[in-house]
């Protein structure tokens, strides 16, 4: 098995989940992106990019983004790719946020409403995760 460019990161298994679930369920990712996007997203995205600037993280993001972009391209869905790439960006920029994917959607919406950038970027991933686990759909 080939090591990914992000295998050394603390949230690598969650990045792998984002990419795998995007490949299988791009429509869920697109719907989650449309449901969760708001004005606060711009500030959250800018802040996460600032936190992910060092070269090792940039390389990991580039590789993970390419994988997500390939998966979304197969589904021809920009919204799905945007949602997955935001989740990947948050998982790379913030080592302490992976638990948010598995949170309750309502709880994460509250945290996001208070301006937590991690929660804002991971809300679509949380929506997808909850839909897949609540309905017992495998990735």
Regarding predicted confidence, which is higher, 137 or 102?
102
pLDDT of residue 85: 86
Q: Which residues have a Cβ under 8 Å from the Cβ of 28 and sit 6 or more positions away?
A: 21, 127, 128, 131, 132
pLDDT of residue 124: 94
Asked whether residue 44 is domain-assigned, the answer is yes
* 8 Å CB contact between 124 and 105: no
Asked whether residue 18 is domain-assigned, the answer is yes
How does residue 46 score in pLDDT terms, banded at 50, 70 and 90? Answer: low
Asked whether residue 41 is domain-assigned, the answer is yes
Most confident of 53-57, 84-88, 95-99, 135-139: 95-99
* 8 Å CB contact between 116 and 91: no
Number of domains in the chain: 1
pLDDT of residue 60: 75
* 8 Å CB contact between 119 and 16: no
Radius of gyration of the chain (CA): 14
pTM listed for this prediction: 0.78
DSSP class of 97: -
* Cβ count within 10 A of residue 13: 11
Owning domain of residue 79: 12-134
What is the percent of the chain where pLDDT is above 70? 78
Res 108 pLDDT > 90: yes
Asked whether residue 101 is domain-assigned, the answer is yes
């Amino acid at each position: 098995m080939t090591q990914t460019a992000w295998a050394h990161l603390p949230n690598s298994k969650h990045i792998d989940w984002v990419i795998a679930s995007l490949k299988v369920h791009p429509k869920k990712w697109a719907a989650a992106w449309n449901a969760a996007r708001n004005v606060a997203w711009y500030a959250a995205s800018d802040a996460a990019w600032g936190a992910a600037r060092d070269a090792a993280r940039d390389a990991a993001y580039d590789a993970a983004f390419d994988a997500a972009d390939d998966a979304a391209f197969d589904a021809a869905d920009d919204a799905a790719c945007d949602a997955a790439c935001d989740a990947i960006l948050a998982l790379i920029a913030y080592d302490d946020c992976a638990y948010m994917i598995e949170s309750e959607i309502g709880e994460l919406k509250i945290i996001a409403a208070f301006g937590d950038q991690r929660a804002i970027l991971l809300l679509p991933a949380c929506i997808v995760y909850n839909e897949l686990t609540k309905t017992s759909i495998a990735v």
